[in-house]
Amino acid sequence: MIAPILLVTAGLAAQASAACTRQFLKDATAEYLDALTAGKPTFASLSTGTVEYVENDQAVPIAEGVLSKGVAIEFNLTLYDTTQCASYTEIVATTKHPYVIGTRLAFQDEKVTKIQSIVCDDGDWLFNATGSLVYNRRETWAPIPEAERASREEITAIATSYVDAWSDSAVKPPFAKNCARLEGGFYITSNCLLNFPPPFNVTKGAYTIDEELGAVDIFHNFPFLDASLPRNPGTQTNNLIRVEAKQIRYIHENTVCQAKNCGR
């Protein structure tokens, strides 16, 4: 009976190395934002050479990526996922070079292991950084009172149903009456439900979940939108979703286009 003992030991070791606090994630994400502002891809939790750096689903040398450009950050909204030890940040810049960037940082043993961004700028889907800034500032992303917080599983299931409904009209996501979607720089308050003609094959990538904000971000492919690309897998996107009272309150979509405005 040696095997079960080994499993228990391995389980404890995994827990110990996974210990990750909200404060650590806050500090490390602030370091990343400072580096992004400076255009200097060096910060304490980053050991270059070991980090995987990905933009719009492509591995990019960090020196050629947006992290080396210098971004005039005016707004950021960050999710902290202490269970996975990851953060997700939506970043808006309207001056110098306007951008809306969604970045997920994954950490292990207090070092960044992966930096993954969706980088939207001029010509991307409904891109308007001024609009992104204006509408972001109008929204309220206060911490959900502790007694009212949904679990990780509930937040994940609700947000996933939003994306699944795109290809399956039988899926009925729970939308709040005042649900709003910031899609590029445009604000849609009339209807949050989207549904696209088949075949529509979404593969979901990284999730970042923050129970305190009631929010999750999902990286995934967008099969239909970019008319200049094959449907499968299509283009890259991420959806940031806030759940209040078990209903979808806010959606932020950042979608990259190969052709200007996805050829539409």
Chain positions contacting ligand NAG, by CB under 6 A: 33, 37, 73, 76, 128, 130-131, 134, 185, 201, 203, 232-233
Alpha carbon distance, N-terminus to C-terminus of the chain: 63
Rounded Cα gap, residues 259 and 19, in angstroms: 43
33 vs 193 by CB, closer to ligand NAG = 33
| Token digits of residue 38 | 């400076």
Which of the 8 DSSP states describes residue 264?
-
- Least distance from ligand NAG to the Cβ atom of residue 238, Å: 16
Q: Which residue is nearest to ligand NAG (CB)?
A: 131
Rounded Cα gap, residues 159 and 63, in angstroms: 34
Rounded Cα gap, residues 82 and 94, in angstroms: 31
User: CA geometry: angle at 15 spanning 209 and 153, to 5°?
Assistant: 30
- Least distance from ligand NAG to the Cβ atom of residue 68, Å: 17
For residue 2, how many other CB atoms are within 10 A of its CB? 6
- Least distance from ligand NAG to the Cβ atom of residue 76, Å: 4
- Least distance from ligand NAG to the Cβ atom of residue 156, Å: 20
133 vs 165 by CB, closer to ligand NAG = 133
135 vs 158 by CB, closer to ligand NAG = 135
Provide φ and ψ at 229, rounded to 5°. -120, 155
